[in-house]
Amino acid sequence: MKPLETPMMRKRRVQRIGLYVLIALIILEILDFVTARLTNGSVLLLFVLAAINAAVIAQYFMHIGELFAPEEETH
Amino acid sequence: MATEAIAHEHHAAAISPARRMAMNRMGLWLFILSDTFFFAGIFAARFYLWGATRPHLDQVLGMTVTIVLLVSSYFMYRAEMAIRHDDRGDYLRSILMTILLGLGFLAGVVGFEWRTSPVNLSTEGEFAVYGSILFFMTGMHAFHVLTGVILLAILAYRGYKGHFSSRNYWAVQAGAIYWHFVDVVWVFFYPALYLMGVAVGPGHH
C-alpha cells in the first residue's frame, strides 16, 4: 500500500522536479555554447536549441498547460 | 445609471472564483503575448541589421549571466511551490534569492557588459549598428528584469505580511510567470547576441 503524501513531502517532490528542470536548462545552455563553437554559430541549430529551452520553461515553470485545463482543476 | 451599476455588480458576483481565475490567467497570457511581439520585433531587427554576423562579445560573461537568470527562475518556481503549500519561510527565502540573482544579472549586463563591450552607442562607421542593436536588446530586456525585481520585492513584502497562502497565491503565480517570461526572452537573446553568426568588428580576435 502506497504511504500517504503529506503537503511538505509533496512540496519537496515538486521542488525537486524544478531542480531537475534547472539542470536540464543549464545543460541545454552549455550545449548552445558548444554548438556555436563547433558550427561557427549556426543560426538554425542555435535557434532550435533556444526554442527547446523556451518550451521547457513554458511547460514546467510557467505552467502553460493550466491555461487549457478545465476551470475546476485550476486555482 | 444606478440600476446599470447594480446589474454590473450582480454580474461580477455571479462569476465563480474558478471562472475569475481562468479569466485572470488568460489576461496575463495575452499581456505576455503582446510583449512577445515587441521582443520578436527587436529580434527581427537584429537579423535584418546584423545578418549572420555578431560583435566580439565576451561569450563566457554571456553564458554566466544566462545561467544566473536560469537559476533565478528555479528559485521563483521554488517560491511559488512553497506558498502553494503554505510554507511562508521557504517562500520568503526563495523569493529573496530570486531578487538577488535578478540584481546579479543586471550587474552582469549593465555593470560589466555595457562597460567592456567593444561596440557601444558612440561606435561610428559601419559598426555603429552593432552598438545600437546590442544596447537596445540588452537595455529593453534589462528594463523588464528591473520591473520584475520591483514586482518581486512587492510580492516578498506582501508575503512577509501574510497576504498569500495555498488558497490565495494568484499574485505570486502571475509574478512568477512574468519572471519566467523574461527568462524565455533572454534564452533567445543570448545566442542572438553572443553566439549566432561570425564575429566581426572591433574586439579580440
Record: contact B77-A18, CB cut-off 8 A: yes
* Partner residue opposite B188 with nearest CB, options A54, A64, A74: A54
All residue ranges of chain B with pLDDT < 50 are: 205
State the pLDDT at residue B205: 47
Q: How much is the pLDDT for A68?
A: 78
Taking the Cβ of residue A7 and every Cβ of chain B, the question of whether any pair is shorter than 8 Å is answered with: yes
* CA distance to partner chain A, nearest, from residue B68 (Å): 10
Cell digits for A69?
A: 485545463
- Select from B70, B166, B196 the Cβ nearest to the Cβ of A46: B196
**Between chains, do B191 and A63 touch, taking CB under 8 Å as contact?**
no
Question: Residue A59: pLDDT above 60?
Answer: yes
pLDDT at site B119: 84
Contact A7/B90, CB-based, under 8 Å? Answer: no
Predicted interface score ipTM higher than 0.85: yes
pLDDT at B5: 67
Model pLDDT, residue B8: 66
Q: What digits encode the pLDDT tens for the residues B93-134?
A: 999 999 999 999 999 999 999 998 888 777 777 788 899 999
What percent of chain A has pLDDT above 90? 65
Interface test with A, best of B71, B74, B87, B91 (most A CBs within 10 A): B74
